Amino acid sequence: SSEVLEAIENVIQGVLQSLAQKKAPVLTLANRTDWRNIEFKDSVGLQMTPHYTTKQIRSDCPQSASRFALMLKILSMIYKMVQSNTYATKRDIYYSDTLLFGSQSTVDNIINDISCMLKIPRRSLHVLSTTKGFVAGNLSYTEEDGTKVNCTCSTTAVTVPSNVEGIKNLISHAKFMLIVEKDATFQRLLDDDFFNKVSPCIMITGRGVPDLNTRLLVRKLWDSFQIPIFALMDADPHGVEIMCVYKYGSVSMCFEAHHLTVPSIKWLGLLPSDLKRLNISKDALIPFTKQDQSKLASIQKRPYIACQPLWKKELEIMAASKLKAEIQVLTSLSQDYLSRVYLPNKLQFGGWL
């Protein structure tokens, strides 16, 4: 915490020095959304290059003056929280003055900017993000406040903890971990008692694009148990993108890649090639939209696809067919095809990439 306080004090000192010299104060941070500032490293995923371009948030420029003020406001809130050892969610910060901040996304963005500028992980700033992910299966742990959580015995999933760093005494006999893209598929596998039938496993879902806590938990479970991790996604560009976030990280959080990515994640399904192999009827597939086409084209250009020739092939199949499929398409074969046939066969015979 002293490191965080010192980093904030240095920023404020810089502002005061500028004012003393009758200069307009400026905040400088890495331009974290520019692909030129990002390099791909096999063992880490997407990370900031050591020599990145920066952007300035100026106090004397109409376009950025209000952002400059909001950054100082949130810095002062973080400073108080670190001093008093209290925590707040990004939502709490927004609701402390909705008129001032204007929108939740403004707050989220500024917090990421501050984390990047100070080079300090977000959770060390005492800002928690609201969790939307679920976890179930062969896992138990103790939360920071001493609450014991057992994910094994419940037919309902457990919410991913909001302070993943604080959990301890993790125990699991799981043979693998399954990341499920969507809540509906996750609930279906829960109802089918999947994590007890095949072999003990841990199932996790970020319910779409994963929040920070879900990504931190996947990474923590990987560090703790070193078991294989498989991703079960829709066979569409959006599903591939979500899987890449778990595996290689996201552009906006690349300065925190070391805590968030798990490059060993394998693509289990739904593979574009599975659709042909399983004779899924064309009528059950969904035609691409313009948005799907441009998303797929942008994924195909990313640096990590080049080192995944098998993924590349699957994306080419998807691009050529201009068709996509949700995991639910497997119910056209039979109601419980996913948990009874598809997943057990894939896991037993190695049908992942």
Enumerate the active-site residues: 95
Q: Which amino acid is at 336?
A: D
Q: CA 319 to CA 155: how far, in whole Å?
A: 39
For the chain, the straight-line distance linking the first and the last C-alpha, in angstroms and rounded, comes to 42
The answer to whether the Cα torsion of 160, 208, 272, 42 is positive or negative is: negative
Query: How many other CB atoms are there within 10 angstroms of residue 189's CB atom?
Result: 25
Q: CA 141 to CA 147: how far, in whole Å?
A: 9
DSSP-derived secondary structure for 95-114: HH-HHHH--HHHHHHHHHHH
- Cα distances from 49 to residues 34, 113, 145, 185, 338, in angstroms, run 11, 16, 38, 37, 41
Query: How many other CB atoms are there within 10 angstroms of residue 293's CB atom?
Result: 13
Query: How many other CB atoms are there within 10 angstroms of residue 275's CB atom?
Result: 23
Closest Cα partner for 235 from 336, 353, 151?
353
**Buried-exposed string 89-108: b where 16+ CB fall within 10 A, e elsewhere:** ebeebbeeeeeebeeeebbb
